[in-house]
Structure formats: C-alpha cells, structure tokens
Structure 1
C-alpha cells in the first residue's frame, strides 16, 4: 500500500520519523510530506493557502500507480479531506490523527496569532491542558526547536469542497487522542459543528489512543501500530 503522511501545523516530513518503522517493515511504501512553505524557517510562505497544501497532496496521489491511504494529523485532517474530495476514487482510506474532515466553508483555525503572513508556534500557555498530555519538557523543547511557522492562509482559508459526494463513501479512521471516541460520538449525537462533516461519512471507525495532541512525539510506537492496523483493514 502507498501511504501518504500529512503533518499538522508547524511540522515537516521528519515529524513522522518515529512512526514509520512498523509501516515500512510491513512492506508499505510510506511518503511523509513537507508541505509548501514548511521547507525552512526562512521560506517565504506569505502567499501560500489551504488550496496549495491540498494540491500538493493531490499531486502525490496522482504520482502513485496504485490507490493510497491518506493520513492527516491535526490541521492535516482538513488537507487530506480536501484531497479525498478531489480524488475520491484513488483513496481507499482517510486516517485522521486527533483530527477530522473539515466541512465546506469552514477554516482550520483562523484565531491563531499571526504576523507577516505566518503563524509561529505559540507559547504553550495558548494550548489546552488536554493538548499537552505526555508532552514533557524535553519533548516540548524538541518540538519548539524543529517548529516552522505555518502559512497564515492555510489556517484561515475556507475549505472549498466540490459537489461530488463520493468523498463521503471513502472509509475513515479517527484516531482519538485528547478527545476519546466516546466523547466524539457524543458530540456527533449533539450535532456539534466540530464534527459536522464527520457525521456525513458513511464508514467511520474510531480507535482510542489516549495522549495529547501530538502522538507522533508522545506515543510514536503505539501510533505506528494503530496506523498499520488501519492500513491493513483498507
């Protein structure tokens, strides 16, 4: 299987390095991405928007000779969903790591503090306590040292989906970290806007991996095993 890994905000392809070994050992072709504007801290990212990131993933799908599994962490969930919308017949599963599909007209997070067209990694005090579970001082230091400012347009742009509802039939796996699967199902029953698009999917499974918002750092081996199991079900 060809597996494309899309990182969340402030991260590049290397953020998946501790997660990929079990996938590669099982014989899968694994492609972690560094999205446009995340190449270095010095990159000009002022003109990069959400569509640029979606298009980068679509280009990877088109370059594959076989169907793919898309994995998106955090804001990467919105990006892989946009790519699934563009190529619903080429994606056999979307895996959302502490994330989910973003509905048409919604933005990932337009409230993050930005300057000069980019969003630097905020102070830890900006995040909820649930985000930071298991992210100890050493991991926080390593994360901040590797963090690259996020293009503001990616955070603030509105999702623009097509009228092709085939995306709703692509199987989805939601890896529930800071919010448990029980909590997510409860939000779905309440019609909460956070999970509005998730309720529209026809085939959704939940897998609990209790930790904070960055399991690729706090529980990489466990995340790799969960991803492998999801891929094997595809």
Structure 2
C-alpha cells in the first residue's frame, strides 16, 4: 500500500521532436489524482539551447537520472513514449535500482546495440519533423485533430543527429527485472505479443522481461493528445501497482 509519502514520482518523457509541453493535457488529469508527476524535456529538444544539436543519448540518460535524484525520497516511475525508449533503456541498464516501474507508451525497451537510424548521414546535424504525409507512413496519426497537428508542427524541435546514430550499449541484465507496463496504442497488445513470440527486432527485448503487464489503449501513436484522460488513468493504474 502506498501513502502520500511513499507514492512514486511519475516522470513523463516524450519521444522524438517533443518536449515537456507534449504532456500538458495528461498532467491535468494526473493532478486530479493527486499524483506527483513531472514532465521533462530531454537534452537536444530544448529549442532555446544553442548547442542542442550536439546532444547524445548519454546526455539524455544523465538528464533523466538527474531528475530522479532530485526526487530521491520517492520511487520513480518512468513513462517513456516512442523514441524516448533509447535513453530510458540506458537508465534502466545503469541504475535499475532507482526505477520502481517503467511504463512504455506505444513503445518498448530496446535491445543492446540498437541504433534508431544507422543510415542517418554523418554530416546531418539534425532531423526535422517530416511532413505529416511522410510521418503517417511511419506512425499512426489517428485521433489527432488539425489543431493538434498544427501545434505539433509549430512546437516540434528537430531531433539531434547524434541521438539517432548512437548505438545503445546495454550490459546489465538487472534492467530486465524492473517492473514493466506496455501501453499498447497503435498496435494492440495481442499483436505486440505475437511479434514478441516471433522475435521481431522491435519487440524482441520484451521476451526477456521478468515482470510484465500490458494495457490496451486503442488510438494513434500520440495518445497524450488523442486520449489524454485515458492515458493518465493507465499511467496512474500502472504507477499504483506494487506487484
């Protein structure tokens, strides 16, 4: 049983092109549940940082650990959306003892040696948000209104090249012992588990997790905008679990 003093701090980390602002609607609903929730902007995704294009996955992992340490009086629940899976996987590998649970939002842990974009040119400093026609071929835009897409376009920050090219180095099997929840959105949990059993590279690491539960939240790849209330409820439910 958790009490206000022992309930976890929920740290929300959005994927590529996004900062803390992406979680505004979810935070509104989490605050009504009296959860201690913090949204963070990863290094490289702060548009005001003149050196952001040089940031690496190591910089991002260090920043997440810094936020955890600021709230070290409570266990941490990391909520990782989409491309935040690489730096969060590094955190789990380096300090699994600091994480009470990880919640993957339309995402999942990466395997050792994974590189998001191995063919991304060395001379390219960053990757801007592509057109929505191109993006829709890569991830579902279901549930996003024209107004939301306009905000996405206006506030998106190009993804740093080093983040896209850096291999994820993982060596600590203890990362697989961290309690894990998959929130399945653009792909159902049934489909995800079929891919896990088939050894699909995107989900192969899920097969190695020791404590796993799944939640279906049918929508597109950005549920923080298409179903923020329901996503907040799913996060709260996962964060409250002690098994």
TM-score range, shorter chain: over 0.9
Give the aligned partner of residue 160 of structure 1: 169
The runs of 5 or more residues in structure 1 that have no matched partner are none
Q: Deviation per CA, 1:72-102, whole angstroms, max 9, x where unpaired? A: 0001122222111111111110000000001
Does residue 131 (structure 1) correspond to residue 150 (structure 2)? The answer is no
CA shift for structure 1 position 22:
3.0
From 130, 144, 155, give the equivalent of 2:153: 144
Mapped partners of 2:113, 2:211: distance in 1: 23
- Which region of structure 1 is more displaced relative to structure 2, 218-227 or 115-124? 115-124
CA shift for structure 1 position 140:
1.1
Give the aligned partner of residue 217 of structure 1: 225
Mapped partners of 2:123, 2:39: distance in 1: 28
When normalised by structure 2's length, the TM-score is: 0.90
C-alpha contact 1:177 1:208 (8 A) present in aligned 2 = yes
Mapped partners of 1:143, 1:35: distance in 2: 17
Give the aligned partner of residue 188 of structure 2: 180
CA shift for structure 1 position 108:
2.6
CA shift for structure 1 position 62:
2.1
CA shift for structure 1 position 120:
0.5
CA shift for structure 1 position 42:
6.2
Q: How many residues align?
A: 233
Mapped partners of 1:75, 1:113: distance in 2: 19
C-alpha contact 1:113 1:122 (8 A) present in aligned 2 = no
Give the aligned partner of residue 81 of structure 1: 89
C-alpha contact 2:46 2:52 (8 A) present in aligned 1 = no
Root-mean-square deviation (CA, aligned residues, Å) is 1.8
Give the aligned partner of residue 108 of structure 1: 116
Pair 111,217 (structure 1): closer, same or farther in 2 beyond 3 Å:
farther
Mapped partners of 2:216, 2:151: distance in 1: 25
When normalised by structure 1's length, the TM-score is: 0.93
SS in 2 for 1:20: helix
Pair 38,170 (structure 1): closer, same or farther in 2 beyond 3 Å:
same
C-alpha contact 1:110 1:156 (8 A) present in aligned 2 = yes
The runs of 5 or more residues in structure 2 that have no matched partner are 1-7
Give the aligned partner of residue 121 of structure 1: 129
